Amino acid sequence: MRVHVIGLGGAGGRIADRLAADSDGDRFLQGVNAFDTDAAALDALRSIDESRRHRFGDAAGGGGLDGDLHAARRLGDAHASELGRAMDDQQPSLAEAFVLVVGLGGGAGAGAAPALAEELTRLYDVPVYAVGLLPTPAESEPREPDSPRASATDDSGERPPERPLAEKNAARTLDALSDRCAAVFPFDNAEWLRPGEGIADARDRLNAVVTERVAALFGAGEADDAESTPQQVLDASDVARAVGDDGEIAAVGHATQAVEPPESGSRFGLGLFGSAEPAAVDTSEAVSAIETTIRKATRGKNTVAVPEGRADRTLLVVGGPPAWLNREAIADGRRWLADETGSGAILSGDAPVPGGEEVFALVVRSGIDEPPRIREIRESIA
Ligand X SMILES: Nc1nc2c(ncn2[C@@H]2O[C@H](COP(=O)(O)OP(=O)(O)OP(=O)(O)O)[C@@H](O)[C@H]2O)c(=O)[nH]1
DSSP sequence for 336-371: HHHHHH--SEEEEEEEE-TT-SEEEEEEEEES-PPP
- Using CB under 6 A as the binding rule, whether residue 105 contacts ligand X is answered as yes
Binder of residue 133, out of Mg ion, ligand X, none (CB less than 5 to 8 A by kind): ligand X
Residues in the chain: 382
**Helices 69-86, 108-123: crossing angle, 10 deg rounding:** 40
What, of Mg ion, ligand X, none, does residue 266 touch, CB below 5 to 8 Å by kind? Answer: none
Of these, 2, 4, 14, 55, which contacts ligand X (CB under 6 A)? 14
- Angstrom distance (rounded) from CA 343 to CA 292: 20
What's phi and psi for 381, nearest 5 deg? -120, 10
Is 10 an interacting residue with respect to Mg ion (CB under 5 A)?
yes
- DSSP-derived letter for residue 69 is H
What is the distance, to the nearest Å, from the Cα of residue 76 to the centroid of all Cα atoms in its chain? Answer: 22
The identity of residue 177, as a single letter, is L
- Minimum distance of Mg ion from residue 135's CB (angstroms): 13
- Between β-strands 358-366 and 248-258, what pairing exists: parallel, antiparallel or unpaired? antiparallel
Using CB under 5 A as the binding criterion, the count of chain residues that bind Mg ion stands at 3
Which range of residues in 27-35, 101-109, 275-283, 295-303 is near ligand X by CB under 6 A?
Answer: 101-109
Among 31, 57, 67, 367, binds ligand X (CB under 6 A): 67
349 binds, among Mg ion, ligand X, none (CB under 5 to 8 A by kind): none
User: Of the candidates 3, 6, 11, 215, which one interacts with ligand X according to CB under 6 A?
Assistant: 11
Distance spanning both ends of the chain, measured CA to CA: 38
Minimum gap (Å) between residue 150 Cβ and ligand X: 21
Q: Which of 199, 214, 364, 374 binds ligand X (CB under 6 A)?
A: 199
Selected binder of ligand X within 42, 101, 206, 217 (CB under 6 A)? 206
Q: Of the candidates 262, 120, 125, 252, which has an alpha carbon nearest to the alpha carbon of residue 177?
A: 120
The span from the CA of 109 to the CA of 161, in Å, is 20
Is position 132 an interface residue for ligand X (rule: CB under 6 A)? no
Asked whether residue 326 is marked as a ligand-binding residue, the answer is no
C-beta closer to Mg ion: residue 38 or 222: 38
Q: How many angstroms separate the CA atoms of 74 and 71, rounded?
A: 5
Among residues 125, 37, 134, the alpha carbon closest in space to that of 76 is found at: 37
Q: Which does 17 bind (CB under 5 to 8 A by kind): Mg ion, ligand X, none?
A: none
Which residues make beta-bridge pairs with 251? Answer: 365
- Contact with ligand X (CB under 6 A): which of 118, 139, 212, 350? 139
Three-state DSSP at 246 gives: coil
- Does 57 interact with Mg ion (rule: CB under 5 A)? no
328 contacts 287 by C-beta, under 8 angstroms: yes
SS3 217: helix
Find the shortest distance in angstroms from Cβ 167 to ligand X: 9
Choose from Mg ion, ligand X, none: what does 73 bind? Cβ within 5-8 Å by kind: none
172 binds ligand X (CB under 6 A): no
Stretch that binds ligand X, among 90-98, 102-110, 148-156, 244-252 (CB under 6 A): 102-110
Query: Annotated binding site, which residues?
Result: 139, 189, 207
Name the site residues for ligand X (rule: CB under 6 A): 9-11, 14, 36, 38, 64-67, 103, 105-110, 133, 135, 139, 163, 166, 189, 199, 203, 206-207
Query: Annotated binding site for GTP, which residues?
Result: 139, 189, 207
Name the site residues for Mg ion (rule: CB under 5 A): 10, 38, 64
